[in-house]
Structure 1
């Protein structure tokens, strides 16, 4: 434990950093502060001072509040509680919703400027749902304490916080979430409310060996149905799948799209974005969706069966692209949609796409820093950022979704 740990200081909060954390300074040292808003003066308690370059701290009292501060949308996460007792998962819930989007815009634009040396601007667009950004989660994972109590983790630790409400949950999820029940023998409980089939409460054990029994659900996007496993990946916000379908369709430069080229949907899950491409460009569209989860690719094959040129491959994306290079496949003229996990695609995948000659990339990103890093790699390979859109798919949290179009002439 460092000598400053537990010390309380008054600080002025000047900026927002990635991860929903605000930035303050004390005697020239950077302090990363939770539960504050740029422009505020707050009393903080130092929680970590082991790093020479910065400290971490919790807000314990707001001395001069931002005009953008609001009562927290989740009472159990409020700054009125001791920091260790604040529920995690709604770390922007104390900020007025329009200003949340402005802070997300700043993080995205600043990250791209810093890491990719690109000047860009973007509006973080709201999507369909309650105006205060509650009631959107179709999937919710809660954790089980040693005594069987259910709740979210504390925002600072793996301590389970008992709660009486789950305000970010969609109404059906909130209705069936068993907050008062005890779950001994489980480590977590998932609540899933699909748009096209029954809702589920599933107790799980993270320590269990093997894969749990598969259970198929249906999600509906527009006129189309997608089948997937109840534990499989699907966008969490009830309007997100439709928003991203439209965003990817709009992001493709049709003058550069060749339906007969070796078009790709990488990290494709159960085929949502491959179907978006097929629906935009018609039944002759060739597209290969690639996903490492074999259960998801089984579902993708089924979900994409109406396109003769569609196929689903189970593979890690980096290895799949290496295989294309070894077999002499060219992606010249092709459009590549990629929706990587939070860590982003990374240098190896970007290098392979450039080597293979992909003409147009539509990059769907849930992490602005990973996107900015990868835009830097792409820029070095001669790709230019043609357009960038951002969507508030995770209101009342720090997360933001971006869709970038990159082309190489």
Structure 2
């Protein structure tokens, strides 16, 4: 570390970076500042000066507040509290909700312009739920300190901090969360409230998974309580509709080799099937064996649905060896992509675009990875023809994008 660690300085935040921190500068050096809003003058404490090109800092005092600053949605994360004791998980909670969406849209727009040379404005759409952006998390992961106390991690650390409430959680999760209990010897506690069933449940550490059921519209999905499912109570239904809308029906061929990559328990493959009928052929590829086991049951309505358990990167390499007839079916196909935060990347996108599908629908939870992949798709001849963004994670910096791509 350098000699600025712990030093307090005055700075002005100029814009919002991807990751939830504002950007400030001191003598030409970039400083990423937590708990700030662009336009504010702040007293900040340097927390990391180890990098030559940028530092990190926590806001200690707001000297000139933005008109968009509001009391933090989570009392314990307030700027009045010692930064080391502020819980993570609500890094936009001090910003008025409408302005949060403006900033998220800017981050997505600026990422596309910088990395993909794409000029595209987008509105971040709200999901159904409380209008103040609380009460949406159906899953909360809490951690247990050495003394057995339970709470979230402090922001940007692995230190457990005490909180009185979980304002982003749905009521059933808030009611069951063991915030005042002690569980010595336990590492983590997940509290979740499936959409089917009356109550919430606790998952202690990585215990043997139990199957729960989630409802999306009129359809039910089997999923492990330890497995992946969208966290926002309205997210699965929102993404189902968004993916259905993003597919150009004039380019869709139900008998083609349609693909659902990083398919999980089959949510988006089912969205395609429900949009285009029971004759749809679609193959979902997912690395988690328990998830594909559930996907096989969740997609049983479609005789043409196939489920493959394999890492998408490895499976994509096999596309180079397909027969001429299969290549024709792939070229007529629609590809749905819902990769992890790191994005699909060059290897997967290169393999997909080599077989030249009719259209690609890309669901992204990271604007920078998405913008990088928009550029890769453009190089391969695929143009971004549609883009929507959704506020799946209110009071955090995260934003979900759904992009549609067609051959240019």
The verdict on a shared fold, with TM-score over 0.5 as the criterion, is: yes
- 2:269 corresponds to: 274
Query: Following TM superposition, where does structure 1 have runs of at least 4 consecutive aligned residues deviating by more than 4 angstroms?
Result: none
Q: Is the 8 A contact 1:84 1:156 kept in 2?
A: no
- 1:175-209 CA-to-partner distances (Å, cap 9, x unmatched) read 1111111111211000110001352111115xxxx
3-state SS in 1 of match to 2:59: strand
Alignment of 1:99-114 (within 5 A): 99-114=99-114
- 1:120 corresponds to: 120
Alignment of 1:258-407 (within 5 A): 258-328=253-323, 329-330=326-327, 331-407=330-406
Alignment of 1:1-400 (within 5 A): 1-197=1-197, 198-204=199-205, 212-328=207-323, 329-330=326-327, 331-400=330-399
Counterpart Cα distance in 2 of 1:275 and 1:287: 9
Counterpart Cα distance in 1 of 2:210 and 2:4: 51
Q: Is the 8 A contact 1:189 1:201 kept in 2?
A: yes
- 1:62-118 CA-to-partner distances (Å, cap 9, x unmatched) read 000000000000011111011101011000000000000000000000001111111
Structure 2 segments unaligned to the other structure (5+ residues): none
Counterpart Cα distance in 1 of 2:311 and 2:380: 23
- 1:353-377 CA-to-partner distances (Å, cap 9, x unmatched) read 1112122100000000000011110
Structure 1 segments unaligned to the other structure (5+ residues): 206-211
Q: Normalized against structure 1, the TM-score is what?
A: 0.97
Q: Is the 8 A contact 2:42 2:63 kept in 1?
A: yes
Aligned residues: 403
The CA deviation at 1:325 is 2.1
Q: Normalized against structure 2, the TM-score is what?
A: 0.97
- 1:99-148 CA-to-partner distances (Å, cap 9, x unmatched) read 00000000000001111111111000001011111100001100000001
